[in-house]
């Protein structure tokens, strides 16, 4: 039986977006998990284009670390990773997607939204897009 290392909170998002520049076991875990997670942005190009539009409005967030920190803020982690999602298998991917939907809902509730091309989008979804644009 192969035991995959449980990713820490950073790898969670990193894996989701298949971010490079991780170290050692994290990179391995991320790479492995990213394969399972590619479904999130089935068209990375589309995400990157929206991400660029977002970063034009918020240039101060235009680096991956800042975006990661914002996406993995304690408030977000409470939703994303309440019991330490392992990303190991389809069930966890499903939970992660649901968690992202919860964040999207929270953003719309709290007015954490931005207009891109006349559309109102949630800041979390735009930050994910922005990360995709930067990687």
Partner 1 sequence: MAFVDTRSLANGETIEADICIIGAGPAGIAIATAFEGDSTRIALLESGDIGYDEETQALAAGEVVGIPYPDLDVVRLRMLGGSTNHWGGNIRPMDALDFEVRDWIPNSGWPFGLEELRPYYKRAATFCGVPNEGFEIESQRSAVGADPWVFEDDAITTQVFQTVGGEARALGLYHEEALEQAANITTYLFANVVDIVTDALSNQVRELTVKTLNDKTLKARAKYYVLAAGGIENPRILLLANKTRPAGLGNENDLVGRYFMEHLTSPDFALLFPSDPQLDFRFYKDFEADWGETWGMLTFSEETQRQGGLVNARFQAATITNEFNKNIDNPGMQSLATLVRSGSSGRVPDELERHLANVIADIDDVAESGYYRFFHHPNYPLISIDLVVISEQIPNPESRVYLGEDKDRFGQNRCVLDWRLTDFDSDNLTRISDQIQRQFGRSGLGRVRIQLPEGGYARINPHPHYHHMGTTRMDNDPKRGVVDANCRLHEASNLYVAGSSVFPTVGNVNPTLTIIALAYRLADHLKGLDS
Residues that bind partner 1 (CB under 8 A): 39-43, 45-47, 49-50, 53, 97-98, 100-101, 104-105, 108-109, 113, 116-122, 125, 128-129
Quote the least distance from Cβ 59 to partner 1, whole Å. Answer: 19
Quote the least distance from Cβ 84 to partner 1, whole Å. Answer: 22
* Nearer Cβ to partner 1 (27/52): 52
Quote the least distance from Cβ 37 to partner 1, whole Å. Answer: 11
Pairing of strands 113-116, 119-122: antiparallel
| 111 conformational bin, left if phi > 0, alpha if psi -120 to 50, beta if neither | left
* Nearer Cβ to partner 1 (55/100): 100
- Compute CA distances 114 → 8, 60, 119, 125, 128, whole Å: 30, 15, 8, 10, 14
Contact 87, 33 (CB under 8 A): yes
């Amino acid at each position: 039986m192969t035991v995959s290392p449980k990713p820490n909170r950073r790898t969670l998002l990193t894996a989701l977006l298949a971010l490079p520049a991780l170290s050692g076991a994290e990179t391995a875990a991320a790479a492995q998990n990213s394969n399972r997670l590619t479904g999130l942005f089935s068209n990375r190009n589309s995400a990157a284009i929206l991400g660029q539009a977002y970063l034009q409005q918020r240039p101060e967030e235009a680096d991956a670390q800042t975006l990661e920190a914002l996406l993995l803020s304690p408030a977000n982690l409470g939703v994303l990773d309440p019991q330490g999602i392992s990303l190991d298998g389809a069930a966890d991917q499903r939970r992660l997607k649901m968690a992202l939907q919860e964040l999207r809902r929270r953003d719309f509730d709290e007015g954490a939204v931005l207009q891109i091309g006349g559309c109102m989008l949630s800041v979390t979804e735009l930050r994910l897009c922005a990360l995709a644009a930067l990687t």
